[in-house]
Amino acid sequence: MKLKDPGLLREAAFVAGAWRPVRNDGATVSNPANGERVGEQPMLALAEVEQAIESAHAAFGAWREHTGKERAAVLRRWADLVMANADDLAWIMTAEQGKPLAEARGEIAYAASFLEWFGEEAKRGYGHTIPEPRRGQRIKVIKEPLGVCAAITPWNFPSAMVTRKVAPAIAAGCTVLLKPAPQTPFSALALCVLAERAGLPQGVLSVLTGEARMIGEAFCESHLIRKISFTGSTAVGKSLMANAAGTLKKLSLELGGNAPFIVFDDADVEAAVAGAKASKFRNAGQTCVCVNRFFVQRGIHDAFVARLKAAVADLRVGDGYAEGTTIGPLVNHAAVEKVERLVMQAIDAGATADLVVRAPAGGSFYAPTVLTGVQPSMQISREEIFGPVAAITRFDTEDEVIRLANATRYGLAAYVYTQNMRRGHRIERELEYGIIGVNEGLISTEVAPFGGVKESGFGKEGSFYGLDEYLDSKYICHGGVA
């Protein structure tokens, strides 16, 4: 692999402060664009996972004693190292995840932004003083780190979802056990190499590769782990919640979505198309906040569809390393089959597909598709597509579209395009979602709280809300104060 620093590609897990190489237990990671082998990750045994949990527990006592400023310094160095090694980290990400190199570089900057932001927030774990109800008392609330936390991260953002969970935990004074997705372990392991170089003490972070169910169950059952943060499917989130009930853990669950993108007749059509393209086709449609359902008002429908098709025609599907590629492969062939099934069902039920761009043969590519005449009853409107398909439904009235947009069990992100700001303010209150973009298709940033409602989960990531997820509030009452 073309790396300036080959030491960043580690075919080893990081357990209790030591690198544990592949022995006779390696599982191969392949590039979804061509099936080529990227490397082998160890499949850790339960005893090794337990050893990592013990070491995180042992390291917690010392790490929590570091001041916020000291923790901030480590996170700052880590952020700088990530940016200094951005080319290599992007290269590793494209190899295992498939996204175009430029998009991978963008994700590395996004990942570093969480390290930088939470480094700054490490100094701000503010508590409160509360006016006493009785004379002679003093009441204060102090913030304390939760303890050992576990993070389970997805393959679609192999670096940014790691730092979005690990950075606030470390900033708060917690220690962390990270289980990256089996498809994309090397991005997480490369970040861990840099964390070690940044001076993160032994045991504060372990990166555990191996069988997802076994590691997840070990996390859930451990009395030493106080919290699990998970990004992934709603089905797995529910099962983690059930399994974590036995030890009453805190959870942050960032789960599936079914994002509506509403375009009113009075929208700026160019802005709406730019937002639609950015939100729908980012990461080949494989983000939890990607548009899943377009609702376009009758008067602007044809103009919007024509402009969107023209914009989609500029996309280039291919190997993430190839010059000019804007859409990489889907994560695997099963993902392609799922998208194909949803599109075929929609066509059978009366929708019309426009294939504006071709996808290369081989690999797990899927050609960006614009689908019109989609009905809310179709499966494609109810299931998360997680692929580059824009499914468009026509609507007539504001009341109708609010009802349609909210008619889902999910509630992560929603988008609205209108130039009537009174309507914008009205709709943002009506939509049952955790994140709303009004005339904006790209809502992800380290400074704002990312998270959903309903079956999209709970808990916030990013922003000062994100730090609070890793802190407990301790109430202290002093009596006999003169």
The residues assigned a catalytic role are 254
Mask of contacts with ligand SIN, 435-454, x by CB under 6 A?
Answer: ---------x-----x----
Site for ligand SIN in 214-233 (CB under 6 A): 231
Which 3 state secondary structure label does DSSP give 262?
A: strand
**Judged by CB under 6 A, does residue 287 bind ligand SIN?**
yes
Q: Outline where 202-332 has alpha helix (H).
A: 212-221, 234-244, 269-281, 298-312
Count of residues that interact with ligand SIN, criterion CB under 6 A: 9
Instruction: Return the number of the residue (222 or 252) whose C-beta is nearest ligand SIN.
Output: 252
The H helix count followed by the E strand count for the chain is 15, 22
155 interacts with ligand SIN by CB under 6 A:
no
Comparison of 113 and 297: residue with beta carbon closer to ligand SIN: 113
Where does residue 154 fall: left (phi above 0), alpha (psi -120 to 50 degrees), or beta otherwise? beta
Q: Report the residue closest to ligand SIN, judged by CB.
A: 444
Among 14, 78, 157, 395, which residue interacts with ligand SIN (rule: CB under 6 A)?
Answer: 157
Cα–Cα distance, 96 to 167 (Å, whole number): 23
Q: How far is the CB of 212 from ligand SIN (least distance, A)?
A: 17
Cα–Cα distance between 286 and 291 in angstroms, integer? 10
Please state, in angstroms and as integers, the Cα–Cα distance from residue 237 to each residue in 191, 209, 216, 395, 458, following that order. 25, 19, 11, 33, 10
Piece of 285-293, 349-357, 395-403, 429-437 that binds ligand SIN (CB under 6 A): 285-293
Of 11 and 254, the one with the shorter C-beta distance to ligand SIN is: 254
Q: Which of 282, 41, 252 is nearest to 156 (CA)?
A: 282
Tell me if residue 374 falls in helix, strand or coil.
Answer: coil
- Of 3-11, 287-295, 336-344, 472-480, which part binds ligand SIN (CB under 6 A)? 287-295
Backbone angles phi, psi at 183, to 5 degrees: -75, -25
User: Residue 119 or residue 232: which is nearer to ligand SIN going by CB?
Assistant: 232
Instruction: List all residues 6 or more positions away from 446 whose beta carbon is below 8 Å from its beta carbon.
Output: 110, 113, 114, 116, 117, 164, 462, 463
Tokens of 252: 């942050």
304 binds ligand SIN (CB under 6 A): no
Q: Which is nearer to ligand SIN, 419 or 445 (CB)?
A: 445
Q: What is the x/- site pattern for ligand SIN, positions 235-254, by CB under 6 A?
A: -------------------x
**Quick one: which segment of 87-95, 119-127, 286-294, 417-425 binds ligand SIN (CB under 6 A)?**
286-294
Query: Does 289 participate in binding ligand SIN (rule CB under 6 A)?
Result: yes
Is the separation of the CB atoms in 103 and 132 below 8 Å?
Answer: no
Q: Can you give the binding site for ligand SIN, defined by CB under 6 A?
A: 156-157, 231, 254, 287-289, 444, 450
